[in-house]
Amino acid sequence: MLNFLKYVLATIVGMLIFSFVGVLLLIGIAAAAGSSDEVTVSSGSVLELKLNKPITERDPDNPLAELGFSFGSLSSSDGLDQIKASIRRAKNDENVKGIFLNMTFVDAGLGKLEEIRNELIDFKESGKFVVSYADVSTEKAYYLASVADKIYLNPMGTVEFNGMSSEMFFFKRLLDKLNIEAQIFKVGTYKSAVEPFFLEKASEANREQLNSFLNSINNYQLKQIAESRGIAPDVLEDVQDNLLVRDPEDAKKYKLITDVGYFDEAIRFMKDEVGLNEEDKLELVQLDKYKKVKGVGEISTSKNRVAVIYAEGDIVDGEGENDNIGGRRFADAVREARLDDDVKAIVLRISSPGGSALASDVIWREIQLAKKVKPVIASMSDVAASGGYYIAMACDTIVAHPNTITGSIGVFGVIPNIQGFLNETMGITVDHVGTGKFSDMPTITRPMTQEEQQIMQHQINQVYETFTSKAAQGRNMTQDQLKEYASGRVWSGIEAKQRNLVDTYGGLEEAIAIAAAKAGVEDDYRLKELPKRKSLFDEMFNNMGAQTKEQAIKAELGQFYPYYKLYKKVQNLQGVQARMPYELNLY
């Protein structure tokens, strides 16, 4: 036995030493990556944008990204901020002659796509070219490519151009098989986040709102494509509705592309544009390299600041992580900007479907205090719905894209009852002893009594009244007027503006310009980004702990691990939620 313990101890010590050495190696690699020389670009270069990584609001502060390492929220992704900055820099860089869109699949929301597309349109005003090539082009990728001067599609390729759809999964039958009951509490006819737990298909109200905002967004994007390609919108709509583009020649016939051709033909065209011979090499500069290039006139010495607070991900209680919106951490960020005399205005950049009602209200309060002393502007990205709208509604001005998804002013709560699962599937029974009849409320190991259900629904109703009252105050309308647009209904940016839920169209730059103008510092400010993000090594060690815990649970539960994962998903919805009805993926 003693020898066994010695071997175990030796193994543990060896693993610790190995981990320590590994961390030292990573630190050395990170230091080497961070101390690289300034990047220079040779004359006649072309900026190549593949956009084949997930696009987030901010570029991840990960010095190991180029080597493929990722930890926690520091995943391999591209920041919208750096993509736009690179396009803007390339416009004025005399060494860059054009942009090459070498894309197939673009992992970004519609708001981010809109801002990249607008930057490409602005880039073309310099007289430089934009060329696109794809073997296969998804609808999102084509929306960007449609601004190009030349669009090449592989002769064996396809371009997706059949409109938008939303696919939803429903779990009622699964929960029935597992003997799990989802006890639902909500306010709002259109608040359909809980439908997957008690229905087998979408309700009529949910179908109504989906049809409405999907058509609104699709019609807007068709109009933008029609303008870029010089096609009548009604013709383009007919092409889409009847799936008239079924092969590359169809795409050329209906003017979606300019050329059916191969990659080398796109390269040859750009060589001609740059003035190279056929045997010369075209210098393609990757985004990861070009975003390290320092532009001329990008450094300001102004003391004035406009704080940009990036709120991306689910809204959660507590501190949260880099990839979500912790109520306490973001309230601290707003407070920091409010108390900083150098910060003359605040822009709240929101890309969130919502989440915790409590955390949303904590952030809302700090925004209310901040707007008393300096301008606070909301900039909506892909989605700013439910809790995302909650934190926007306190701002002086709300800026959104026409294809932003917003609204969803409603509240819900889910309390799972897993008594049947424990009894029938696991063979476990649970007994309760308490000091009063409500002492174990809420519990997931028994069904709620009628009185407990009434208490829970009353709490949900109170949160909804608070939500709509504050929204009405922020939007300068009566609560009854606001409720006409609430009930959990989701709107496109166009629909929201028509109902006075947002003020104007635009992206982050427009919101920053509005904030600077209101503060009287239009041409004399620098940006301050908040909140401060966790370092690479904080993320690395935190993620290691989480992975170790998850692996231990999986090994212990074996075949029951999938049930545990489902339970955790439902448990995360426990309590009062101001969240969009679904995770929306548009195809």
> Pick from 125, 128, 118, 126: which is nearest to 46 by CA?
128
**CA 212 → CA 86, 135, 470, 553, distances in Å?**
36, 33, 26, 43
Sheet holding 354-356, edge to edge: 181-187, 411-417, 576-579, 354-356, 315-316, 325-326
Cα gap 16→24, rounded to integer Å: 12
- Fold annotation for 45-162+243-290: 2-enoyl-CoA Hydratase; Chain A, domain 1 (3.90.226)
CA 172 to chain centre: 28
Q: Is the peptide bond before 442 cis (omega within 30 degrees of 0)?
A: yes
Q: In terms of Cα–Cα distance, which of 390, 429, 391, 437 is closest to 409?
A: 390
Residue 301 confidence (pLDDT)? 83
Integer Cα distance of 166 and 162 in angstroms: 13
- Cis? peptide before 447, omega within 30° of 0: no
On the question of pLDDT at 28 being above 80, the answer is no
Whether 549 is catalytic is no
Boundaries of every domain in the chain: 45-162+243-290, 305-579
Among 97, 191, 374, 470, the one annotated catalytic: 191
Give the model's confidence band at 73: pLDDT under 50 very low, under 70 low, under 90 confident, else very high: very low
Going by their DSSP bridges, the two strands 490-492 and 259-260 should be labelled as: unpaired
Find the mean pLDDT for residues 529-534. Answer: 86
Q: Could you confirm whether 191 is annotated as catalytic? A: yes
pLDDT for the residue numbered 294: 76
CATH of domain 305-579: 3.90.226.10
pLDDT reported for residue 22? 52
> For residues 270 and 261, what is the distance between their CA atoms, to the nearest angstrom?
13
Q: For 465-501, what is each residue's pLDDT tens digit?
A: 999 999 999 999 999 999 999 999 999 999 999 999 9
| Residues 384-403: tens digit of each pLDDT | 999 999 999 999 999 999 99
- Express each pLDDT in 534-568 by its tens digit: 665 555 555 555 555 555 676 666 666 665 555 55
Confidence of residue 533 (pLDDT cuts 50, 70, 90): confident
> What is the per-residue pLDDT across 156-204, written as a single tens digit (0 to 9) for each?
999 999 999 988 999 999 999 999 999 999 998 998 989 999 999 999 9
- Name which of 70-84, 267-281, 346-360 the model is least confident about: 70-84
pLDDT cut 70: percent of the chain above it: 81
For the segment 225-252, the average pLDDT, to the nearest whole number, is 97
With a cut of 80, say whether residue 572 has pLDDT above it: no
Predicted local distance difference test score (pLDDT) of residue 218: 96
pLDDT at residue number 18: 52
Q: What is the distance between the terminal CA atoms of the chain, rounded to a whole angstrom?
A: 60
Please say if the pLDDT value at position 277 is more than 90: yes
Both tokens of residue 318?
A: 């507590």
**45-162+243-290 and 305-579 share one CATH topology?**
yes
Of the ranges 16-30, 93-107, 286-300, the best mean pLDDT one = 93-107
Residue pair 367/394 in contact by the 8 Å Cβ criterion: yes
User: 549: Cβ–Cβ under 8 A, 6 or more apart, which residues?
Assistant: none
Q: Look at residue 205 and tell me whether its pLDDT is greater than 90.
A: yes
- Kindly report the length of the chain: 587
- Please say if the pLDDT value at position 116 is more than 70: yes
* Per-residue DSSP letter, 502: S
Taking every pair of Cα atoms in the chain, the longest distance, rounded to a whole number of angstroms, is 87
Query: Could you tell me if 98 and 131 are in contact, meaning their C-beta atoms sit under 8 angstroms apart?
Result: yes
Contact between 509 and 348 (Cβ < 8 Å): no
Q: Which two tokens stand for residue 360?
A: 């949303």
DSSP 264-292: HHHHHHHHHHHT--TTSPP-EEEHHHHTT
Query: How would residue 569 be classed by pLDDT, with cut points 50, 70 and 90?
Result: very low
Q: Which residue's structure tokens are 């309230």?
A: 331
Return d(Cα 114, Cα 143) in angstroms, integer: 9
pLDDT the model gives residue 587: 44
Please give the Cα distance from 269 to 539 (Å, whole number). 45
**CA–CA dist 197, 573 (Å, integer):** 11
* Burial grade of 548 (CB within 10 A; 0-12, 13-18, 19 or more): exposed
- The whole-model pTM stands at 0.86
Beta-strand relationship, 343-352 and 305-312: parallel
> 482 CB contacts (<8 Å, ≥6 apart)?
409, 468, 471, 472, 475
What is the arithmetic mean of pLDDT over 127-143? 97
Tell me the pLDDT band of 6, cut-offs 50, 70 and 90: low
Q: Which residue in 192, 356, 386, 408 is the catalytic one?
A: 386
CA distance 79 to 55: 6
Mean residue pLDDT across the chain: 87
What is the per-residue pLDDT for 75? 56
pLDDT in tens, 501-523: 999 999 999 999 999 999 999 98
Would you state the structure tokens that stand for residue 24, as one six-digit string?
């030292």
Cα distances from 199 to residues 7, 193, 529, in angstroms, run 55, 11, 43
What's the CA gap between 483 and 467, in Å, rounded? 10
Q: How far apart are CA 393 and CA 400, in angstroms?
A: 12
